[in-house]
Every structure is written in C-alpha cells, then in structure tokens.
Amino acid sequence: MNEQQRSMLLQSASSFPPPKGTKLSYGTAGFRADASILQSTVFRIGILAALRSLKTGGAVIGLMITASHNKVSDNGVKIADPSGGMITQDWEPFADCIANAPDPESLVQLINEFAKKENIPLDGAKTATVLLGRDTRPSGESLVKAAKQGICSVVGAVATDMGIITTPQLHWMVRARNKGLKASELDYFEQLSSSFRCLIDLIPKKSGDNNPIGKLIVDCANGVGGEKLQVLKEKLNGLHLEIRNSGESGILNEGVGADYVQKEKVAPQGFGPADVGIRCASLDGDADRLVYFTVISNGNNKINLVDGDKILSLFALFIKDQLSILSDKNEYQPRVGVVQTAYANGASTKYLNQLGLEVIFTPTGVKYLHGKAEEYDIGIYFEANGHGTILFSEHFLNWLEGRKNEPSSTTKEKQNAVKRLWAVSKLINQAVGDALSGLLLVEAILQHMGWSVDKWNELYHDLPSRQLKVKVADRSAVVTTYAETSVEKPPGIQEAINAITEKYPEGRCFVRPSGTEDVVRVYAEAKTQETADEVAASVAKLVDQFLGFTAS
C-alpha cells in the first residue's frame, strides 16, 4: 500500500467511527442491524467491495443496501460476487474483521495485511467497479453515500449508483455486466417480459384442465417490488394482475409480505373476504422471496399457503416434463438436482422423490443451496420461505442451443420443449432468488398446465409442523452434521431425539443452532398438528435437560 492510498483510507475512515459496544458479523444475508449504527459498517464494506473487484481482475462487484423482510428501522449491506451470487465465504472473516476494527489505524493495518496476503494491487494500476443499489428504506440514501465514500477511498475504484432497485435486480445486473451482456434495469424488464411472452406463446392449445386461471393479486410488502411489478405489468398482456401494498400508504414489512404470510399463515393487510378463492401472491420487502396463497372463506384471515416447497415442486415437474419430451437414450442426459434444507416439508421431499428426481440436502442458507445447485446441469433450489431459483450449466445451455438449430425433421413437440427450456433459462434469475421472475414463471407454468391455484396446491399435502426456540448461553455448544439433520455434539442427544420421533407416525425432528442469535431451533413434523406439537415440545425439553438451557 503506497502513501497516497494509506492517506486516503485514514482520512475517509476518520469520518465514520464505529459504534461503541457493538459487534457485527457477516451472516447469510450480510450485515443487518438498526440503521442508526450501520454507517461505519457500510463505509467499510464499500472498501471491501472495491478490494474484491481488484482481486477479481477488475470484475464488476455489487453492493446492496437492504434489510429484506426486516422492519423498516433496520437496514443492511451485502456483496454480490462477479457471478451475481453471494460473495465467496472465504472473505466473510475479513468482512467481520474490518467491520469491527476499533479505529482508522487498525482498519488500515487490516486492509494492508489482507491485500498483501491476497496479492491485491493497491497502487492505482488497476481499476475497480462496484454497482450500488438500495431498497425503499428512508435510511438507504445516507448509507449509499457512506458506501460510495468507502469505495472511492480505494485508488482506482469507481462506484455506480443504480438507485432504488430490488436486490435480485442488482445481482442480475452484476452477472450480466460480467458476461458482457446488456445490464440496465430496462434490459432486465425486457428480458423477463419477452421470455414470459415466449412461454405463453408456446402453450399447447389443449393443456391440463384448461381452467381459466383468472386474476392474480400481489401483496408487495409496501416495498420496492410494487413499483417494479407495475413496470412489468405494463409490458405484459397475458397476465391479469392487481397490485396491492405497493408502499404508497402502508409501512414496509408491517403485517404484509412473504415472510409474514409464510410464518403467520394469515392474509396480509389489505386482503379480506372479497378475495376468497382468488389466486394471491406475496413478495418480501426487497422482492427476493415469493409465496402464493388463497384466502379461506371461514374468516379469521386464515389462508391456504402455497410456499417455496410447492413452487419448487411446480418448477421441477415442468422441467422434468420438458426433458422427457426431449429424452433420447442415445443422447446426452442432463443431470437434474433438486436442493432442499432440513426445513423443507417432508411431504415435498417425498413428492420429488416420486417424480424420480435426485434430492440433495444442504445446511440452511442460500449460499449453501446455490453452491450445491451449481454442481448440476439443471439445479433447482427453494427454501420454504420462498427464496430460490433454477441454475442452468453452460454445457446444458450450449446443448440446448444446438438443439434449437436442428433440422426441421425434428418433431414440433421437441422443438417447442427446447424453446420452453431456453425461455425458462432467460426468465428465471440465475444469479439469485427473484420474486418477480419467479412469479412470472409460476404464472406461465400454471397457464401451460391449465391449472388453478387449488389444483397446484393438491400436488401433495404438507405434514403438520411446529418450530420452537430454546434459549442458550452459547449456541456453539450444539454441533450438527448431515446438512443439520443430526446432532453430533453434545453426544447422546441425537439418539434421544430419535427415540422420541419413533413413537409418532411420520415423526421427524431436528435441532440446530441459530445463525443469528443465542438460541437452538427445534423443528418437528408428524401426521397431525397435535402430534407435531408434542414432538417439538418433547425435544425442546430434551435439549433443556441435556444442556441446562431455558426453553422459550
């Protein structure tokens, strides 16, 4: 690090002292906290983003200011790598270190040591590019300014502010820029809308039950998704769409949004008896999660939830159907992998297995799911909370491209299957889970199948489940294995859990330490809600007995 670089960093850092008595850590979703204490952290992560661009040879890096489904007073920051995915886990410890450095001198020393270790040039000989985005939170504007100052305190780094956008849009732009493709917000809307129209145009004249699927009402969580969905709506003719909770009057994520609907299993604010039987969907605050639901007629705001597991199952079924049309034993057979976490409902896993699909489990967290999905020609992942996507390997896309150009002797049915899969690869956001692209794909598939939301929801019936928390002094005392489905430490507890679950028909239970707070999470399933509650309560007591914790 030369003297000019050192001076720039010291001068900038002195304007952003870290909050006293606060230690932050970079989790699955980056840093999140009350917005009032984040300026220093966001400034420093701006520096990290510039360093990451230099490390990757000047590739475009993304920095997103958002706290997703958290309350409006919170905010956060996370980094998108050149692929458009989350930043490599190898850099997370460095993020923690610089976020918590006590003063400018310590910060500069950490940066200098890390740059030497990683061979990152800090002499201005190379340029760095960082795209910035933020959601609609009032605190976003000042935090973007802090991020810009962090980025620009690295010699040769340039910050480009993309304004108010969804988190998936930023990830999409980063991926597109690094592939040398058009990457503006307008390009994003055009790619999604044209791919959707292609899928609609390829619907067979007689398909499924041929039920008119009718209107879709979308709860936009009073977040950024409302404005962006309105743009898409104006570009699409094949979709009868009504937008609610667009942020004009309600409060971000308060009684609205995908996280609220999925966890509480009730309709969001602004929905009621007049909506009974109509297909509804919810986005979260930054539009990277999506769930569907229908309002139940017996009142009390109850709903039939169609969660991420059902979305995954719909996507997997459609892709399997298209591949079966193309199937030729003498040809290349794409390897399809469906990736879930232990929180996936057991009924969904059983359904996917019955389809003949390979189901793989990973620990909880998008970075694990996405990484595993990348190992397949087609990797499909979704969490029950509604975050997920489909990944297509370059090898598979090249194969599809070749099939598109086959002689006209190929049957029309096979040509259409190739075109559908190609359109899916363009419609779905392969960088990250995207509620807008996911919603359009769901709608296209339902129209293709001729299915109502109720028919979709009948693919399988969820097993009743219950989640509990057990307070702990140190969550690291619990160590899990086999994608968090089995407890390794303390010894003996897994055998005791097994003894409990074996007593109940279709009983299943796992415990795992939280990634964000000092609690152990308990998840249980069984044939009835009563027995699922019993399993969860019994295992929570067991954890308390083994570890001396207090259940809550």
The residues that are catalytic are 68
**Residue reference for tokens 């007591």:** 541
Tokens of 393: 């390997």
Query: Where are the alpha helices (H) located in 428-468, listed in sequence order?
Result: 435-449, 453-457
Q: Half-sphere exposure of 474 toward its Cβ, with a 13 Å CA cutoff?
A: 6
* Residue 435, Cβ density class (10 Å: 0-12 exposed, 13-18 middle, ≥19 buried): buried
Contacts (Cβ under 8 Å, ≥6 apart) of 115: 1, 51, 121, 122
Residue 105 has which token pair? Answer: 């001198």
Tell me the three state secondary structure of residue 226.
Answer: helix
**Which structure tokens are listed for 11?**
């001068």
Closest listed residue to residue 69, CA positions, set 137, 132, 133: 137
Structural contact between residues 456 and 447, judged by C-beta atoms closer than 8 angstroms = no
Beta strands in 36-120 (DSSP E): 60-65, 74-80
Q: Report the SS3 class of residue 61.
A: strand
Tokens of 306: 């169609």
Where b means 16+ CB within 10 Å and e means fewer, 439-448 reads bbbbbbbbbb
- Say if CB 134 and CB 162 are below 8 A apart: no
Task: Record the tokens describing residue 351, joined without a space.
Answer: 């359904």
Q: Supply 69's token pair.
A: 């489904």
Give the tokens for residue 249.
Answer: 């009057």
Distance (Å, rounded) from C-alpha 2 to C-alpha 105?
A: 15
- Which of 210, 230, 235, 205 minimizes the C-alpha distance to 220? 230
Q: Look at residues 12, 121, 110 and name the one whose alpha carbon lies nearest to residue 58.
A: 121
Task: State the Cα–Cα distance between residues 382 and 220, nearest whole angstrom.
Answer: 20
Q: Which two three-digit tokens encode residue 179?
A: 């592939």
